[in-house]
Amino acid sequence: MKIGDKVRFLSEVGGGTVSGFQGKNIVLVKDEDGFEIPMLRQDVVVVGSEDYDSSKVNTTGNPLPFSQKGEQASKKKDDDPASQEESEEKPITFKAKPLERREGERLNLYLSFLPDNIKEFTGTSFESYLVNDSNYYMQVSLLCATGASWQLRFCGVVEPNSKIFVEAFDRSQLNDMERLCVQAIAWKQDKPFILKPATTTELRLNLTKFYKLHVFRPNEFFKEPNWTEDIIRDDKPVRSTFVDAEQVQAAIMKPTNR
């Protein structure tokens, strides 16, 4: 088994492409949505270039390539009213459950920024992602300050040990992102878990970092250069240490009582 092999899961529905390894026993499998799922080596089997979902076949009876299976499955569903009705009634389920990690019992949540074109950094736009480095599902809301009020920028569920795309933006929108607030609620699906308190974390981004190339580096979550800010670290919300110059000036000018 090597990086690039197409595999399917033995104990669960799903599969994907081998993207890496963790030690001798863990295989990282990237699914169709781009998420890396850690699985035990004995729980996956190489299927070569075949589609791991044998229910999706073409008219010749051979498995469809990955590039075609979505198109044909969608067409078949559109042509069959009964299948449409059935799909609407069934709840959405995940294709595979990530392998839990001992260190994942503590909540760790990050907000990452990736430039679209690192080679033309002065004019590039950016993408942002939320990274859930824990064994818990997280319902996350991302807000930005607009004067004395707040505006919602993103709200969604981030699966355990995964990342999710938030938005794309360019430099003209940076001023809207100086003051952010992240609210998170954590839980586990279909199993008992230790209750985690709901968190609200306010942070003030140092927007000058969007103009500093050396700030953007690869890390354990992204192979591409990125700037990653802590939101929750080991169950504790992280407070921003960036100081507002106006607040400092107001504190200096404030008279003291003697």
Q: Any bridge partners for residue 32, and if so which?
A: none
The Cα-based distances of 71 to 31, 34, 61, 80 in angstroms read: 17, 18, 16, 15
pLDDT at 10: 77
pLDDT score at 77: 44
Task: Give the global pTM.
Answer: 0.58
C-alpha R_g of the chain: 22
Tokens representing 250 are 């107001």
Q: Which two tokens stand for residue 204?
A: 């003030």
Q: What pLDDT sits at residue 254?
A: 67
196: tokens are: 């985690």
* Adjacent-strand bridge partners of 143: 152, 181
Q: What is the pLDDT of residue 246?
A: 58
- Give CA–CA dist 176/34, Å, rounded: 29
- Determine the pLDDT at residue 29: 85
Contact between residue 47 and residue 7 where contact means Cβ atoms under 8 Å apart: yes
Which residues lie across from 200 on neighbouring strands? 183
| C-alpha of 192 from chain center | 24
Q: What is the C-alpha to C-alpha distance for residues 33 and 63, in angstroms, rounded to an integer?
A: 20
State the Cα–Cα distance between residues 56 and 54, nearest whole angstrom: 5
Residue 113's nearest CA partner among 54, 191, 167, 150 is 167
Q: Can you give the pLDDT of all 258 residues of the chain as single tens digits?
A: 788 888 888 767 778 888 888 777 788 888 887 777 888 887 888 886 444 343 443 444 443 443 333 344 444 445 555 544 444 444 433 344 456 888 899 999 999 999 999 999 999 999 999 999 999 999 999 999 998 899 999 999 999 999 999 999 999 999 999 999 999 999 999 899 999 999 999 999 999 999 999 999 999 999 999 999 999 999 999 875 444 555 556 666 666 555
pLDDT value of position 255: 66
